[in-house]
Amino acid sequence: MEATTDAEGPLAESLAFRLTVLGGTMQREFALHLKEAGLTPKHLGVLNVVDRALARTQDDVATLMQVTPGMVVRLVDRLEQRELLQRRRDPVNRRRHILTVTADGARVLATSAAFAATLDAQLVATTGTALAGQLDQALAALMRTLTGSR
Amino acid sequence: MEATTDAEGPLAESLAFRLTVLGGTMQREFALHLKEAGLTPKHLGVLNVVDRALARTQDDVATLMQVTPGMVVRLVDRLEQRELLQRRRDPVNRRRHILTVTADGARVLATSAAFAATLDAQLVATTGTALAGQLDQALAALMRTLTGSR
DNA sequence: TATTGTTATACTCTATAACTATA
DNA sequence: TATAGTTATAGAGTATAACAATA
């Protein structure tokens, strides 16, 4: 009766489960790196989507990052205090806050990109260049569905 | 002077960063699925490492999952309350608690594996079978380094 | 003296829901 | 009436550090 436990293969071999585990490990690395700046991975995520023009307003950020509007407020609050992000009212629709990354914000993104590059180097060293290239393609395909096929 | 911002390529194209984002998405899915059982993805992680014999004691779990001993206590507390995991003293070294997955715990793992399979199906549908196969290989290589090359 | 696990404390993250203002 | 954002509250997660028991 072991068909009950492994009907679809063990959990540990699922793509989704391993993505969760490895994503958690990577997130921990980013968290450690960002700690000195008083930021979390989510703060970096906000900077990134705004910088990449995937999100223009707080509402955009909430939808794209799947977080509540209330959390976006707090994330943006801190980023604004640190002068990494700027809020300004949309003259066209005064309910909206348009977000822009400041020069300091761009610097945080650059530093984090450099840090990410060192993590990538470790990943490539583990998988080898061939597999890393294919990992890159697979992740790109998956990211496209998250950002709405852009 | 834009070499300053993109010296190593943009953050959004980093393998590590995308693993963080996608891992977060998958984690959210698992969290939603586990909510009705009153569990979190970390609880599932504990069940998994114990079931796979990657961890025998609470200390093993803490080391492997990179969480503090105090958190393992609370995670195991809940799993034990729900009768998904059993604690018993190691007769050889009475400081240790040996963990074993109960029949109910195995059932949770099975249900979660089935759920993971549906997530996997979505992932495969997005990337195509060829890329999914290579994603599988890359993730396997990366997981081996996490579990100590076992 | 080191290891394993527990507890206490405080802090952060997060979700929910009520609220303000704009449209 | 619907949208964008804010605030308040409460609950869950987490880290730190002090502690107890065992080796």
Tens of pLDDT, residues A55-64: 999 999 999 9
**Quick check: B19 contacting A, CB < 8 Å?**
yes
Give the right CATH number for A17-146 from 1.10.10.10, 3.40.630.10, 1.10.40.30, 1.10.10.60. 1.10.10.10
Please give the span between the terminal C-alpha atoms of chain A, in angstroms, as a whole number: 47
Q: Distance from B122 to chain A by nearest Cα, in Å?
A: 10
**Which residue's structure tokens are 């609370």?**
B74
Mean pLDDT of chain B: 90
Tell me the HSE value of B146 on the side-chain side, using a 13 A CA sphere: 23
Instruction: Return the domain boundaries, chain B.
Output: 15-146
B9 confidence band (pLDDT: 50, 70, 90)? confident
What average pLDDT does this structure show over A106-123? 95
Question: What percent of chain A lies above the pLDDT cut of 70?
Answer: 93
**DSSP string computed for A72-137:** HHHHHHHHHHTTSEEEEE-SSSTT-EEEEE-HHHHHHHHHHHHHHHHHHHHHHHHH-HHHHHHHHH
Residues at the strand D interface (Cβ < 7 Å): A 57-60, 62, 69-70, 72-74, 76-77, 87, 93, 95-97; B 40, 42, 67-71, 74, 93-95
**Residues B26-52, mean pLDDT to the nearest whole number:** 92
Task: Examine the pLDDT at A4 and tell me if it is beyond 60.
Answer: no
pLDDT tens-digit map of B73-86? 999 999 999 999 99
pLDDT at A1: 45
Give percent of chain A with pLDDT exceeding 90. 85
Say yes or no: B15 contacts chain A, CB-CB below 8 A.
Answer: yes
Asked whether residue A6 carries a pLDDT value surpassing 80, the answer given is no
Q: Is the pLDDT of residue A5 over 80?
A: no
CATH of B15-146, one of 1.10.10.10, 3.30.70.20, 3.40.1030.10, 3.30.1490.20: 1.10.10.10
User: Sorting pLDDT into bands at 50, 70 and 90, what band is B106?
Assistant: very high
